[in-house]
Every structure is written in structure tokens, then in C-alpha cells.
Amino acid sequence: MRGSRLKGVPMVSNVIVGLGETGLSYARFLAARDEAFVVLDDAVRSDRLALLRAISPDATVGPIVGDVISVAKKIYVSPGVPLGLPVLADHTTHDRLFGDVQLFGQIVQAPFVAVTGTNGKSTVTQLFHDIAKKQTGRVALGGNFGTPCLDLLSSDVDLYVLEVSSYQLELANNLAADVAVLLNLSADHLDRYSSEQAYFKTKFAIYNNCRSAVVNRAISCSLDPSIRVVSIGMDEADGDDEFALLGDAITLSGEVLLKQDELKLSGRHNLLNIQAALAIGLLFDFDMSTMLEVVKDFSGLPHRSEFVAHIGGVRYVNDSKGTNPGAMIAAVSGEASERNVHLIAGGVSKSADFARLQDTIGRYIKRAYLIGDAAPLLYSALPEIDCAIYTGLPDALKDARNIADSGDVVLLSPGCASFDQFTDFAARGETFRQIVERFES
């Protein structure tokens, strides 16, 4: 083991499994309480080890081994570490395993919002954070997006806004959020979960013991009848506390609030995300007119249906964060105007099922430019579309530029993870942006 030698294994109280961003936040959390800990990780990056040494110079670091885990009193598991790992599997039903979000919920003193869903989480948390800053005191944003939640804890914060992933919910069965939000569900992370239903069940844990909820009417769920529920949807509805659509307008209880052409945010699918942010605000009794002004000025986040450029009548959109088929479907449907989308897709499939792509978005795709490990799978899933497989994003984007006509959209929405050709989705999106910017020069 690196660092100080592990002596007297039975004396180990705290073990951190995984030294990513969350693992480092566990280290800061424990060090602030003068509690010693051991860190286990099979592939420690040098930059993260340096950060750990700044927190605790003498912390022991070693590979993930069962003998250390078996004697630990508390095991702090990073979200990226599967609970099905053999050395952890025997402990998942015991109270020795801790996740950062559940730990946060047990400690936090101020109200907090917890947002999950297959897609759109970051957009909603950022938008509601911006809304809340106009109407309350100090607001802290983080979780799966941005700052790890344990690093946010402070007596100065009046309201916390958290994005929560399915991985985090695996150890957060009693989160008790003041407002819980499940935006949408589509199959994802099937390389980690045994089935689509297992993944969905994990997501539903967001509602456990919540004090109020935002519910998508397209998702069937059963909640405590004593809590207040506000619903959202892409359908028409005019009941009390129901956000809905009427044409291209967002409504509340049947009254029009704003129209899509008043927004800076791109894509029709984002109308649901806006509804969710407004619904959270409604549950906090925020002023609606002030919320709408923030919504109108919100242009979105990088790599999420992000407008990059308009060149020769062609619109270029970066949706590199679209790492599953559901996100791809939402982005294509949101950006399309009949059959005018040049879709760049592919990467690592994460065992995703692409079978419904032809039926759901085939009518919008003018041509598909496929890259990465999943390119052959996507090619097979789009039998009625003009498709070609490319060695990488630069070649695909160059061809898309040459083929696209005025009025078309060149959309990077991979429907896959990025780590076959890029370090992460942000690097993939930045590559797309840089190439498009060179087109302009």
C-alpha cells in the first residue's frame, strides 16, 4: 500500500472506496472531523493522489481488497464503484455502507431539492438554482453535477439544489428531500443494472420520505397522499398544480405562462425541463413573474443541446452529454423540423438498446454519421436512414458540413458514452465546437 503502512487492520474505522471527486469529498468530510481513514482504489490517478495528500498526508491508499473492507466500521462508497463488486456485495444489506447523498440528507439542516431522471437533470438543477438565487438567501448547487454534496454543507446555506444520479440513489433509500423530482425514465446504464426495471426502481427511490414532489404524468408512480404534488408533462392538462403544453406554450392550470419563441434555451424537449424548474419554485411559493424572467434569460448548459454556430444556413448543435438513446431521441425530436437533421452518433453503448430509434426519430434524420465502438449497432438500428461509418468525429463532421443544406441541423447527440475516443463527454463536445469554429474562420 502507498502512504503509511496499514498496521492493525482490525482497528480500521473508516474506509473510502474509490478516489474520484466523491472519494475526495469523503476524505475532506472525515478529515474535518479528525477521523482517520483508509482509501481503496484499484487505479489511483496521480493528480487525485496529490489532492488526497493535501487533505491527509499520512492516509493509507491501496487496492480494493476484501480483508480491509470486512473489518471496517464504516465504508464510504463512491458512486462509480458498483455495489455488485464481490468485495462489497456481502455488505450491501448492512448499515456499514454509506453514500454521499444519503449522508448529506442525514446531516443537512436547511431545505434541499433532489432532482433525478435519465436526462435533463443538470439543466433543471442549474435553472432552478438561478431561479432560487433571485428569491431567497444563499443557494448551493451540486451533487452529481458540480460540487460534491458533502462539500456544500455549511451553516450559511439557506437552500440546497442537488442533482442525484441512480448510482447515488443506490445507497440513498431514505433521502427525505424537501422537494423530490423524477424528470423522465428511459433505459440507461444497463452495463451496471441487471435490467431496465432494476434501473427504474433505483430512480424511484428519490421519492422515499420526500416532503413534496414534482411528478411527470408520463411516469406511473404511487406517492404518499399527504404530500403536495405538482405534475409536469408534454401533454395538455388544466388541473390544479398541473404544468402542461398548449401548442408551443407552457401552461399552469390551463393558463399560458410563456411560449417557446420567448426562450433562449434550444429544443422542444427543454419545455419539460422548464416546467420542472417552475414546479419546484411553485412548491417553495416563489413569485411566478420573477421565475419567468429568469427562465426567458436562461440559455442552457454546455454540451446539452448547446447552439454552437449558424453557418451557411446550417445550424450546429452540441449535445455531447446525450449519452443514452433516450437523450438522443429527445435532442433529435427537439431540434428537428421535418427531415432535416444530420445526426452524429456513436461511442460506447453501455449495453443500450437502439431498436426503437428508427420508429421514434427516423423520420427526422436526413443522414447519420456514425463513430466509435457502437457505430455498427447504430447502423443496424437505422435501416431506412442514409448512414455511413467514420473513423472519428472530425471526419464525420467534415462530411456533414459538405452535405448539409441551408435549413438543416448538424447535431452531435451520440446516444453513447465517450470513453472509447475521448476522456469524457465534455472533451467530445469541445472537439465538436472547435471544429465548427474553424468552419467559421
Q: Which of 14, 144, 216, 318 is catalytic?
A: 144
User: What 3-state DSSP class applies to 301?
Assistant: coil
Q: Which of 74, 189, 269, 321 is catalytic?
A: 189
Is 133 a catalytic site residue?
A: no
What are the backbone angles phi and psi of residue 252, rounded to the nearest 5°? Answer: -130, 120
Closest CA to 370 of 361, 358, 379, 362: 379
Closest CA to 332 of 292, 298, 368, 301: 368
Mapped to the 3 state alphabet, what secondary structure does 180-247 carry? EEECCCCCCCCCCCCCHHHHHHHHHHHHCCCCEEEEECCCCCCCCCCCEEEEECCCCCCCCCEEEEEC
d(CA 437, CA 210): 45
Please give the single-letter amino acid code of residue 395: D
DSSP assignment letter at 1: -
Q: Which residues of 317-350 are buried (b: 16+ CB within 10 A; e: fewer)?
A: bbbbbbbbbbbbbbbbbbbbeeebbbbbbbbbbb
d(CA 185, CA 193): 14
Is 94 a catalytic site residue?
A: no
Q: Which residues contact 340 (CB under 8 A, 6 or more apart)?
A: 364, 366, 407, 408, 409
Instruction: Using alpha carbons, list the distances in angstroms from residue 228 to 278, 280, 287, 342.
Output: 15, 11, 18, 43
d(CA 207, CA 151): 23
Burial grade of 49 (CB within 10 A; 0-12, 13-18, 19 or more): middle
DSSP string, 86-132: HHHHTTTTSTTEE-HHHHHHHH--S-EEEEE-SS-HHHHHHHHHHHH
Please give the single-letter amino acid code of residue 290: T
Is 144 a catalytic site residue?
A: yes
Q: Which of 74, 121, 129, 269 is catalytic?
A: 121
Closest CA to 331 of 116, 181, 117, 120: 120
Burial grade of 352 (CB within 10 A; 0-12, 13-18, 19 or more): buried
Question: Strand order in 341-346's β-sheet?
Answer: 306-311, 314-318, 409-412, 341-346, 365-371, 387-389
Residues tagged active-site: 121, 144, 189
